[in-house]
Amino acid sequence: MFVRISSIALAVLLVSGCANNSPVLGNKNISYGDTKAVETVTNEFGSTDLQMIAESMTRSLAQSGILQGRPVVQVYDVKNKTSEYIDTREITTSIKTQLMKTGAARFASDNTAMDSQVDQLKLQNQSGLYKKSTVAKTGNMIAAKYRLEGSISSIVKRSSDYKDVFYKFSLQLIDVESGLAEWMDEKEIRKTTER
Protein backbone atom coordinates (compact mmCIF):
# COMPACT_ATOMS: atom_id res chain seq x y z
CA MET A 1 0.00 0.00 0.00
CA PHE A 2 2.82 2.44 0.97
CA VAL A 3 4.69 1.64 -2.28
CA ARG A 4 1.54 2.32 -4.32
CA ILE A 5 0.92 5.73 -2.64
CA SER A 6 4.59 6.67 -3.07
CA SER A 7 4.41 5.74 -6.76
CA ILE A 8 1.30 7.87 -7.28
CA ALA A 9 2.86 10.82 -5.41
CA LEU A 10 6.01 10.53 -7.52
CA ALA A 11 3.97 10.43 -10.74
CA VAL A 12 2.03 13.56 -9.69
CA LEU A 13 5.26 15.40 -8.88
CA LEU A 14 6.83 14.46 -12.22
CA VAL A 15 3.77 15.54 -14.22
CA SER A 16 3.40 18.83 -12.34
CA GLY A 17 7.13 19.54 -12.70
CA CYS A 18 6.92 19.17 -16.49
CA ALA A 19 3.95 21.53 -16.88
CA ASN A 20 4.77 25.06 -17.94
CA ASN A 21 2.86 27.24 -15.53
CA SER A 22 4.75 30.42 -16.46
CA PRO A 23 2.42 33.22 -17.54
CA VAL A 24 3.15 35.18 -20.70
CA LEU A 25 3.55 38.88 -19.99
CA GLY A 26 3.20 41.71 -22.46
CA ASN A 27 1.93 42.06 -25.99
CA LYS A 28 1.02 38.85 -27.82
CA ASN A 29 2.02 40.44 -31.17
CA ILE A 30 5.70 40.28 -30.22
CA SER A 31 7.68 37.19 -31.09
CA TYR A 32 11.27 36.04 -31.02
CA GLY A 33 13.15 36.09 -34.29
CA ASP A 34 16.23 34.43 -35.72
CA THR A 35 19.23 36.50 -34.63
CA LYS A 36 21.09 35.43 -37.80
CA ALA A 37 18.24 36.39 -40.16
CA VAL A 38 18.93 39.27 -42.55
CA GLU A 39 17.48 42.42 -41.01
CA THR A 40 16.13 44.88 -43.59
CA VAL A 41 13.85 47.12 -41.53
CA THR A 42 15.70 50.31 -42.55
CA ASN A 43 18.82 51.18 -44.48
CA GLU A 44 20.55 52.39 -41.32
CA PHE A 45 23.32 50.36 -39.71
CA GLY A 46 21.78 47.24 -38.16
CA SER A 47 22.39 43.84 -36.62
CA THR A 48 23.08 42.11 -39.95
CA ASP A 49 25.74 44.72 -40.76
CA LEU A 50 27.39 44.24 -37.37
CA GLN A 51 27.42 40.45 -37.80
CA MET A 52 28.81 40.64 -41.35
CA ILE A 53 31.59 43.01 -40.30
CA ALA A 54 32.57 40.98 -37.23
CA GLU A 55 32.58 37.67 -39.12
CA SER A 56 34.48 39.06 -42.11
CA MET A 57 37.16 40.79 -40.02
CA THR A 58 37.60 37.87 -37.63
CA ARG A 59 37.99 35.38 -40.47
CA SER A 60 40.45 37.63 -42.33
CA LEU A 61 42.62 38.29 -39.27
CA ALA A 62 42.58 34.67 -38.07
CA GLN A 63 43.57 33.42 -41.54
CA SER A 64 46.31 36.03 -42.00
CA GLY A 65 48.79 34.00 -39.94
CA ILE A 66 49.95 37.09 -38.03
CA LEU A 67 48.51 35.82 -34.74
CA GLN A 68 50.94 32.90 -34.39
CA GLY A 69 51.47 31.84 -30.76
CA ARG A 70 48.34 33.59 -29.43
CA PRO A 71 49.83 37.07 -28.95
CA VAL A 72 48.32 39.58 -26.55
CA VAL A 73 46.21 42.20 -28.32
CA GLN A 74 44.74 45.42 -26.96
CA VAL A 75 41.50 46.38 -28.68
CA TYR A 76 40.53 50.01 -29.13
CA ASP A 77 36.95 51.10 -29.73
CA VAL A 78 36.04 51.55 -33.38
CA LYS A 79 35.75 55.24 -34.39
CA ASN A 80 32.36 56.22 -35.74
CA LYS A 81 32.83 58.58 -38.71
CA THR A 82 29.24 58.23 -39.92
CA SER A 83 26.43 60.75 -39.47
CA GLU A 84 24.31 58.26 -37.49
CA TYR A 85 24.62 56.85 -34.01
CA ILE A 86 26.32 53.45 -34.10
CA ASP A 87 27.29 51.60 -30.94
CA THR A 88 30.82 50.87 -32.12
CA ARG A 89 31.67 49.17 -28.84
CA GLU A 90 29.37 46.33 -29.93
CA ILE A 91 31.35 45.92 -33.17
CA THR A 92 34.56 45.81 -31.16
CA THR A 93 33.11 43.35 -28.64
CA SER A 94 31.83 41.04 -31.40
CA ILE A 95 35.22 40.96 -33.14
CA LYS A 96 37.01 40.37 -29.85
CA THR A 97 34.58 37.61 -28.83
CA GLN A 98 34.89 35.79 -32.14
CA LEU A 99 38.70 36.03 -32.08
CA MET A 100 38.70 34.72 -28.51
CA LYS A 101 36.58 31.75 -29.61
CA THR A 102 39.09 30.87 -32.34
CA GLY A 103 41.87 30.79 -29.73
CA ALA A 104 44.00 32.95 -32.03
CA ALA A 105 44.74 35.72 -29.52
CA ARG A 106 44.64 36.77 -25.89
CA PHE A 107 43.40 40.21 -24.92
CA ALA A 108 44.81 42.83 -22.58
CA SER A 109 42.46 45.15 -20.74
CA ASP A 110 41.20 47.79 -23.13
CA ASN A 111 41.28 51.48 -22.28
CA THR A 112 37.87 51.38 -20.61
CA ALA A 113 38.64 48.29 -18.51
CA MET A 114 42.14 49.46 -17.57
CA ASP A 115 40.83 51.85 -14.92
CA SER A 116 38.88 48.99 -13.31
CA GLN A 117 41.97 46.76 -13.47
CA VAL A 118 44.16 49.37 -11.78
CA ASP A 119 41.49 50.07 -9.14
CA GLN A 120 41.25 46.35 -8.32
CA LEU A 121 45.04 46.03 -7.98
CA LYS A 122 45.14 49.08 -5.68
CA LEU A 123 42.27 47.73 -3.59
CA GLN A 124 43.95 44.35 -3.14
CA ASN A 125 47.43 45.75 -2.43
CA GLN A 126 46.70 48.89 -0.42
CA SER A 127 43.49 48.32 1.52
CA GLY A 128 44.75 45.66 3.92
CA LEU A 129 41.46 43.80 3.44
CA TYR A 130 42.85 40.74 1.68
CA LYS A 131 44.94 37.78 2.78
CA LYS A 132 48.49 38.47 1.51
CA SER A 133 48.86 35.04 -0.10
CA THR A 134 45.82 35.72 -2.34
CA VAL A 135 46.63 39.29 -3.39
CA ALA A 136 47.37 39.87 -7.10
CA LYS A 137 50.87 41.33 -7.36
CA THR A 138 51.46 44.61 -9.14
CA GLY A 139 53.88 44.73 -12.02
CA ASN A 140 52.75 41.43 -13.52
CA MET A 141 50.24 42.56 -16.12
CA ILE A 142 51.09 41.38 -19.63
CA ALA A 143 51.71 44.12 -22.16
CA ALA A 144 50.07 43.89 -25.57
CA LYS A 145 52.17 43.00 -28.60
CA TYR A 146 49.54 44.42 -30.95
CA ARG A 147 46.77 46.97 -30.88
CA LEU A 148 43.64 46.52 -32.96
CA GLU A 149 41.87 49.68 -34.09
CA GLY A 150 39.43 50.67 -36.76
CA SER A 151 36.76 53.01 -38.04
CA ILE A 152 33.42 53.00 -39.79
CA SER A 153 32.41 55.70 -42.26
CA SER A 154 29.48 56.20 -44.58
CA ILE A 155 28.45 58.04 -47.72
CA VAL A 156 24.75 58.80 -48.05
CA LYS A 157 23.15 59.74 -51.40
CA ARG A 158 19.51 60.70 -51.85
CA SER A 159 17.23 61.35 -54.77
CA SER A 160 13.47 61.75 -54.94
CA ASP A 161 13.13 57.98 -55.47
CA TYR A 162 16.08 56.39 -53.64
CA LYS A 163 18.29 56.59 -50.60
CA ASP A 164 21.66 54.87 -50.92
CA VAL A 165 23.96 54.33 -47.94
CA PHE A 166 27.48 53.04 -48.43
CA TYR A 167 29.34 51.89 -45.29
CA LYS A 168 33.05 51.22 -45.17
CA PHE A 169 34.56 49.48 -42.15
CA SER A 170 38.36 49.45 -41.81
CA LEU A 171 40.40 47.56 -39.24
CA GLN A 172 44.14 47.30 -38.68
CA LEU A 173 46.50 45.42 -36.39
CA ILE A 174 49.54 47.47 -35.36
CA ASP A 175 52.73 46.17 -33.73
CA VAL A 176 53.03 48.22 -30.52
CA GLU A 177 56.84 48.16 -30.44
CA SER A 178 57.57 48.99 -34.08
CA GLY A 179 54.43 50.98 -34.90
CA LEU A 180 54.08 49.01 -38.13
CA ALA A 181 50.68 47.96 -39.42
CA GLU A 182 50.96 44.17 -39.70
CA TRP A 183 47.47 43.51 -41.06
CA MET A 184 44.64 45.59 -42.53
CA ASP A 185 41.28 44.79 -44.06
CA GLU A 186 38.02 46.48 -44.87
CA LYS A 187 34.41 45.49 -45.40
CA GLU A 188 32.00 47.46 -47.57
CA ILE A 189 28.21 47.38 -47.30
CA ARG A 190 25.72 49.15 -49.58
CA LYS A 191 22.05 49.53 -48.66
CA THR A 192 19.51 51.09 -51.01
CA THR A 193 15.93 52.00 -50.20
CA GLU A 194 13.29 52.86 -52.77
CA ARG A 195 10.94 55.56 -51.51
Q: Cα–chain-centroid distance for residue 29?
A: 29
Q: How confident is the model at residue 160 (pLDDT cuts 50, 70, 90)?
A: confident
Evaluate if residue 111 carries a pLDDT over 90. no
Q: How confident is the model at residue 106 (pLDDT cuts 50, 70, 90)?
A: very high
Q: In this predicted structure, what is the pLDDT of residue 90?
A: 86
Model confidence pLDDT, tens digit, residues 77-97 = 889 998 889 888 888 888 888
Whether pTM exceeds 0.75? no
126 sits in which H/E element: helix 111-126
For the chain, what are the domain ranges? 45-115+141-192
Give the whole-angstrom CA distance, residue 127 versus residue 122.
7
Assign domain 45-115+141-192 one CATH number from 3.40.50.1110, 3.30.70.1290, 3.40.50.10610, 3.40.50.300.
Answer: 3.40.50.10610
